[in-house]
Amino acid sequence: MDKVIITCAVTGAIHTPSMSPHLPVTPEEIADAAIGAAEAGAAIVHLHARDPETGKPDQTPEAFKPFLQVIKQRSDCVVNITTGGAPGMTIEERVRPAATFAPEVASLNMGSMNFGLFPMLNRFKDLKHDWERQHLENSRNLVFKNTYQDIEYILTTCAENDTRFEFECYDISHLYNLAHFLDRGIVAPPLFVQSVFGILGGIGPHPEDVLHMKRTADRLFGTSYRWSVLGAGKNQLPIAAISAAMGANVRVGLEDSLWLGKGKLAQSNAAQVRAVRQIIEGLGREVATPDEARAILELKGPHDVRF
């Protein structure tokens, strides 16, 4: 498939405001960052919300509403709302924004896992807010819970909204978990499979890991899925380049990586989109528009969302 869907994860629960002055925090910053990413070529924007004062992840619908409305007014991009939230949240908290606003796409983590963020404490010493250090330190002894019951709860809660899912697969077992729900008829193709590489606790970022993930997904899903990849941290653009050459869609954004080259902070989400777009177009492939992404993923369209 020559058309490449770029997803931009604008802000999220991995990084904290003290790590980069360019991380969007307020509703205005999140909206502007999402629109800028869309203008740069992202067909989909993946969104979390934050407390505008402290930057702490906030999974209340009230935190999402201001920037969702602005993005819809100013852009035709596909909006993807997280159901991952942050590891310490309950499953009921995590699903509320997607259940409330019925987006075209919502993310869905496909298995429980260790989610090791604590190594970042070695790099980022000057954390301004107490919650930031606690957030990273707690990941030493935390399992990010995504049980079969949790996954099914999100799927059934959003079933009547016709929301499709970005299935986030951090390891090979997560592909098998997705196959389980496909076999039961709880999810339907085309499956939008987001392979995540380089998070401590998940599959690594080696090219062989990318090949293994692709081979396994091909065997399990055949032509019933659309593959996308993201590389965490310094792995973002190398993973994107390897995978785009293999026919994948790609995800970039400040949720997944703060960087645009070694030791160089990305000054915007749009800068990362432009960088990966250059890779894609250098391979002779074309970037999908939002409407082309809707057709590829068989989305319901922007008129049936509730924001």
Angle of helix 207-221 versus helix 236-245 axis, rounded to 10 = 50
b/e map of 63-78 (b: 16 or more CB within 10 Å)? bbbbbbebbeeebebb
pTM here?
A: 0.98
Q: What is the pLDDT of residues 225-263, one digit of tens each?
A: 999 999 999 999 999 999 999 999 999 999 999 999 999
Tokens for 59, please give them.
Answer: 């999974």
Domain membership of residue 214 as a residue range:
3-304
Secondary structure element (H or E) that encloses residue 134, with its range: helix 130-137
Write the DSSP string, 234-248. GGHHHHHHHHHHTT-
User: Across the chain, where does the E strand assignment appear?
Assistant: 3-4, 6-9, 44-47, 78-81, 105-109, 113-114, 143-144, 164-169, 191-197, 225-231, 249-252, 286-287
Report how many domains make up the chain.
Answer: 1
**CATH number for the domain including 241?**
3.20.20.70
Share of the chain above pLDDT 90, in %: 99
Whose CA is closest to 121, among 109, 137, 110?
Answer: 137
Residues 17-67 pLDDT 10s = 999 999 999 999 999 999 999 999 999 999 999 999 999 999 999 999 999
Phi, psi for residue 51 in degrees, rounded to 5: -65, 125
pLDDT tens figures, 118-168: 999 999 999 999 999 999 999 999 999 999 999 999 999 999 999 999 999
pLDDT for position 2: 83
Q: Is residue 14 within 8 Å of residue 115, measured between CB atoms? A: no
- pLDDT reported for residue 1: 57
Question: What span, in angstroms and rounded, lies between the C-alpha atoms of 78 and 7?
Answer: 9
Tell me what pLDDT residue 83 has: 98
Give the total residue count for the chain. Answer: 307
C-alpha 33/C-alpha 22 separation (Å) is 10
Residue 81 C-alpha from the chain's centroid: 9
The pLDDT, as a whole number, for residue 306 is 98
Contact 111, 177 (CB under 8 A): yes
